[in-house]
Amino acid sequence: MNDVPTLAAQGATIPKLGFGTWQITGEDCVDAVKHALATGYRHIDTAQAYENEPEVGEAIEQSDVPREEIFLTTKIWMANMAAGDLERSARRSVEKLKVDRVDLLLLHWPNPDHPLEEMIAALNAVRAEGLTRHIGVSNYTVDLLDQAVAISDAPLVTNQVEYHPFIDQGPVLDAVRRHGMALTAYSPIAQGGVNKSDVIADIAKVHGKSAIQVSLRWLVQQDDVVAIPRSGKPEHIESNFDVFDFELTDEEMARIAALGSDDGRLIDPSWAPDWDRAA
């Protein structure tokens, strides 16, 4: 398999392709993460809300890959974002993951029940305590991101958001670039929806790749973008990783980008913020 290129953002070195673990639990999670690491992934993404941190930690412990070679991300859930609660929950996450610290700790969603200053200060406190090397946010709009960056003492490394060929994330991407951050793309293949696109299918045929591989390549070929596909199937874990032996042309990149709109969003829970609209 090919080595994964990395992205430098605010002092962090992040593998451009990671392995997501949303909705993978129990022994299935242990097996999937172990297979991902054996395949070549060195970036593993989890969260308190996924209820699989112990399994992710077990997989890392059982893997032959040294801990220092793995970029490990977890996220603070909304119920744990008050000052004091956030720090305690971060310690629990580190314990569940069986590590001394994580590499990146994110606020999973904006939470209007707590002042942004309070949440960002607590996130900084966790970093100062040594429980994480880097900090960031997830599902933040441009306005919230600008506020968080201005408040935070330590640099914010990423904003993790839904991003795939059918959603135009231009405003957020512009904002993270302005702040020297990365955009981490979750649901990068639109939960399999990219298989239904004739445009992507045509491009995939040219390169002898699948629509999913082309979509992942489209993401990781963009500056400042990281993608974190997830799958519990070994063959899909491997094929998702096999995207570094071809390159899309500028025309192909533009054709895929043109598929994006404000109507392509798949993840929009009741607690979501007022999303940015494409220009």
Tell me the binding residues for substrate.
108
Residue whose C-alpha is closest to residue 158's, from 278, 12, 275: 12
Separation between Cα atoms, residue 177 and residue 192, nearest integer Å: 28
CB-CB contact of 256 with 165 (8 Å): yes
CB-CB contact of 190 with 266 (8 Å): yes
Tokens found for residue 275: 């999303």
Sequential DSSP letters for 34-72 = HHHHHHT--EEE--GGGT-HHHHHHHHHHSSS-GGG-EE
Amino acid at 13: T
Question: Is residue 50 annotated as part of the catalytic site, yes or no?
Answer: yes
Quote the distance between the C-alpha of residue 70 and its chain's center. Answer: 14
Catalytic pick from 41, 50, 140, 186? 50
Sort residue 33 into left (φ over 0), alpha (ψ -120 to 50) or beta. Answer: alpha
Residues 6+ apart with CB under 8 A from 211: 194, 195, 197, 200, 201, 204
Q: Is 155 helix (H, G, I), strand (E, B) or coil?
A: coil
Residue 154, CA distances (Å) to 29, 130, 151, 247 in order: 32, 13, 9, 35
Return the active site residues.
50
